[in-house]
Structure formats: C-alpha cells, structure tokens
Amino acid sequence: MADGTATSDRTCAACGGGTFSAVANAATCAAWTECSPGSFVSTAGTGVADRQCTPCPAGQTSTTSNATACTPQAADGGAPGIKLVGGTNHSCARLTDGSVRCWGSNTFGQLGDGTTTQRLAPTPVPDLSGVEQLAAGAYHICARLTGGTVSCWGWNSNGQLGDGTTVNKLTPTPVPDLFGVEEIVAANTFTCARLAGGSVRCWGQNNSGQVGDGTTTNRLTPTTVTDLAGVEGLAVGSSNNHMCARLAGGSVRCWGQNFYGQLGDGTTTTRLTPTAVPDLSDVEELAAGGSHTCARVAGGSVRCWGRNLYGQLGDETTVDKLTPTAVSFLSGVTRLVAGNFHTCVRVTDGAVRCWGHNFFGQVGDGTTTNRSILTAIPGISGVTELAAGSNHSCLSGGDGSVRCWGQNINGQLGDGAKVNRSSPTLVGW
C-alpha cells in the first residue's frame, strides 16, 4: 500500500499468496501461520484471514507441515503405542510417529512450544521428531531420540537440561557429548541417563548427592555415577532428590536424600554414592515418588519403602518403612508408577489400582479419601500405558484414547478445564 498525498489517492494492493491483512489500511501483509506436523489445516487462509490449525485427533497424525487432513497412526504391536509422562503441573505424550505433544503449566517453557503460555489441551512440540522415550521433571522434559541422543527443555535453574548453562529453554535443546542413551529419567531438578553397557550419567541439582558422584556440587553437564555398572533400569524420586537403579540379576542400589528411608537401606542417612538395598532381589521394575520407592518383583508382587504419611506404601498403615515392605493383597502387576504421595499399578487384565494421597482425586476412585490399601479405579480395563505426575495420573487404552485424573490447577489433565477430577477424564485431543 502507498499512502495518499494532497494530490493523489492512497493506492491499495491485494496480499500475495500465503499472506493476509485482517485490518483496514495495513502497511504490510502477514504470513499465514504454518500448521506443524501433528496438526492439520482446519480453515484455509485467505487474503483477509489467517490459516487456522487444529491438532490431529488421538490415534491420528500428520507428518508434513500444512497437512489438509490427518491419517491413522501406525500401530505398535497392535496397540497405538502412546507413551505418557507427568511433571508437577504438566503432562506430555509421545505418539507412535515419534512426535510429542504437551499440555498444562508452561511457566518455564516445559511444554516446548517456544512460549510460556499455559495450554489446556495437547499442543505439538515443533521441530522434534524421532522421539523414543520421554522423561518429566518438575518443570522440565527430556526426550531420548533415535540414535541414543537426548534433547531437553524447560526449567534449568540447576543445570537439569545438561547443556552447560542455567538458562531456561523454551524449545528442545540437545545435551552435548551424550551418546548411546538407552533410558532417560528426570526428577525435580536433576536428570539421569542409562547408557549402553550399563553405566549411568546424571546432571543438575546435587544438594543431596542425587547425581551420585560422591559430592554435593551441582553439575551442568552429564557426570558419571560412581561405582555403578550393569544397570538395566532406573527410577527417580519425582519431587525430592533420590535415585535408584536396577542391576543385572534384579538387585537394587539407591542414592541421594534419605530423610524417610526412601533409599531402603534401613537408615535415614543420605548417601552420595549408590548403596545396596538389602534383602531385595528379582526386581523387574522400579518406581520412585516424592519420598518413597517401589519395586515390582518377579511374579507380579510389589514391595515399597520410605515415606508413608498418606498410605502410599500400600501396606494398610501410615508408618514410614526403612526397608522394602510388601503391598497388601496385590499380585499380577505388569506396570508400576509413583507420584509425589500416591502409587498406581496396572495388573494382568489391564485394570488399574492406586493408593496413597487422594486430596486431588489422584487415586481415581471418585473420592478424595486417602487410601492406605490398593483401590480399584472403576470402569477401567485394557490399559496399555500408565504414568504419574506429582498429583495426577494418566493412562492410555487400546483405542488410543488418553484419560487423566487428579490435580488440574494448570490444565495438566488436558480436558480443556482447570477443575480437579477424581475419576479418569478424556484428554481433549
């Protein structure tokens, strides 16, 4: 557009292809919004209106920018293959095509979309593909990528993103000099990776020795855990600062904060290097909460230890335990997760049972009554994936749907609202 003068009228020109102007007498035209992979063009752009994008429905995806439609996702062994993680007030899902969507609180950029805007429904993480696994800390996320590298984003106050800085990152940022990663886990303000060959490297806050290098010095880049080899699985405390590793043969070693006996060594002494959990063997899976730890052992039973204020150990008491204690009336467990003060399992028929703190409805039984004994979630079966955040939980079913329950102050349940839910509620894809 050329402005008018005293002797000539204003000259107007139409916006060119791919641009628009929504106001009168605009000086320039703006480019249409690009719809990223994982979304589709729901309303085409015009010369006077921007292009509108909508996330693909659950079980569908798009692999190119500005796709006009979504297509069914490839199945993983007959199941949709959605993988879920939960942080303090946010959640993320890895879809079968290796893309990621996040929702909830975004104060530190933990949703990875380049903003700090809270999202009440799943939002694609742009420029991220080939994701094989996710890990959620309090306000940060890390992704293990095809080829064994790692990218992280969000809160970086203690170097938990591993990039050598303490600057928050709003988009995925590679962790330098870290290769061959087979598993990634994240806690409040630190992160750990299990490498091919069974060694472990950790980084971030180290005030309780949770990095495992024998010091209490924060580490801004990956640091090798002392005297630890042959690791086959990891579990990290969601809000406090302890870490456990499952070794070849099914034994367990833990380190870090131990105020409530969460290291399982019979003491409340903080450990700066890995310490064996006695009288525990044949462990197949570990889960760590705020100040408690649980192990699924061969045969499908579960043993827990540490803080038990809300009954999160599932032994029908609220007494802390310094060594592994059997969860009452529980067998056939195939998946184990832990939040701050609650614990959940999936059993052989795909049903879910939870116990512990229930103030926000995170046990999922339709009440807000704490449970010191395992409690079934009504109407839930066929669960393929289970995850726990600080005070909320999520599951995925064989049909690709995702349901979450518990605290929802920042929209971490993904149902478009900020209302706590005491029963599983569909995520609004």
CATH number of the domain within which 2 lies: 2.10.50.10
Percentage above 70 pLDDT, the chain: 92
- Does residue 429 register a pLDDT over 90? no
**Which of 68-82, 141-155, 271-285 is predicted with the least confidence, judged by mean pLDDT?**
68-82
Residue range(s) defining the domain that contains residue 310: 73-426
Name the domain boundary from 46, 72, 98: 72
- For residue 359, the 8-state DSSP code is T
Structure confidence at residue 310 (pLDDT): 99
Q: What is the mean pLDDT of residues 52-81?
A: 59
- Does residue 124 register a pLDDT over 90? yes
- Does residue 120 register a pLDDT over 80? yes
**Which of 36-50, 88-102, 122-136 is predicted with the least confidence, judged by mean pLDDT?**
36-50
Q: In the numeric block, which tokens belong to residue 318?
A: 């609220």
- Does residue 422 register a pLDDT over 90? yes
DSSP secondary structure string for all residues of 334-351: EEEEE-SSEEEEEETTS-
- Does residue 179 register a pLDDT over 70? yes
Q: Is-contact 172 151, C-beta < 8 A?
A: yes
Name the domain boundary from 37, 72, 107: 72
Q: Determine the Cα–Cα distance for residues 78 and 308; give it in Å rounded to an integer.
A: 38
Same domain, 140 and 287: yes
The CA–CA distances, whole Å, from 103 to 177, 264, 327, 410 equal 29, 34, 33, 9
Q: How confident is the model at residue 74 (pLDDT cuts 50, 70, 90)?
A: very low
Structure confidence at residue 67 (pLDDT): 76
Structure confidence at residue 17 (pLDDT): 72
Residue range 238-266, pLDDT digits in tens: 666 999 999 999 999 999 999 999 999 99
**Which of 65-69, 155-159, 282-286, 408-412 is predicted with the least confidence, judged by mean pLDDT?**
65-69
Same domain, 325 and 344: yes
Same domain, 202 and 223: yes
Structure confidence at residue 189 (pLDDT): 96
- Does residue 32 register a pLDDT over 90? no
Same domain, 369 and 319: yes
Residue range 89-107, pLDDT digits in tens: 999 999 999 999 999 999 9
Q: Determine the Cα–Cα distance for residues 86 and 392; give it in Å rounded to an integer.
A: 8
**Beta-carbon count within 10 A of 245 CB:** 27
Structure confidence at residue 58 (pLDDT): 53
Residue range 382-396, pLDDT digits in tens: 999 999 999 999 999
Residue range 315-351, pLDDT digits in tens: 999 999 999 999 999 999 999 999 999 999 999 999 9
Same domain, 7 and 110: no
- For residue 75, the 8-state DSSP code is P
Please give the single-letter amino acid code of residue 423. S
CATH code for position 183? 2.130.10.30
296: helix, strand or coil: strand
Same domain, 10 and 144: no
Residue range 282-323, pLDDT digits in tens: 999 999 999 999 999 999 999 999 999 999 999 999 999 999
Percentage above 90 pLDDT, the chain: 79
Same domain, 254 and 279: yes
**Which of 133-137, 327-331, 400-404 is predicted with the least confidence, judged by mean pLDDT?**
400-404
Structure confidence at residue 248 (pLDDT): 92
Same domain, 91 and 231: yes
Same domain, 265 and 336: yes
Please give the single-letter amino acid code of residue 412. Q
Q: How confident is the model at residue 7 (pLDDT cuts 50, 70, 90)?
A: confident
**Residue 204: which of 187, 184, 218, 224 has the closest Cα?**
218
Same domain, 58 and 107: no
Q: How confident is the model at residue 60 (pLDDT cuts 50, 70, 90)?
A: low
Check residues 380 and 72 and name the one with the higher pLDDT: 380
Name the domain boundary from 28, 49, 72: 72
The number of domains in the chain is 2
- Does residue 76 register a pLDDT over 50? no
Q: How confident is the model at residue 202 (pLDDT cuts 50, 70, 90)?
A: very high
Q: How confident is the model at residue 66 (pLDDT cuts 50, 70, 90)?
A: confident
Same domain, 89 and 9: no
Structure confidence at residue 238 (pLDDT): 65
- Does residue 53 register a pLDDT over 70? yes
Mean pLDDT (the chain) is 92
Q: Is-contact 93 122, C-beta < 8 A?
A: yes
Q: Is-contact 292 342, C-beta < 8 A?
A: no
- Does residue 77 register a pLDDT over 50? no
Structure confidence at residue 403 (pLDDT): 97
Same domain, 156 and 8: no
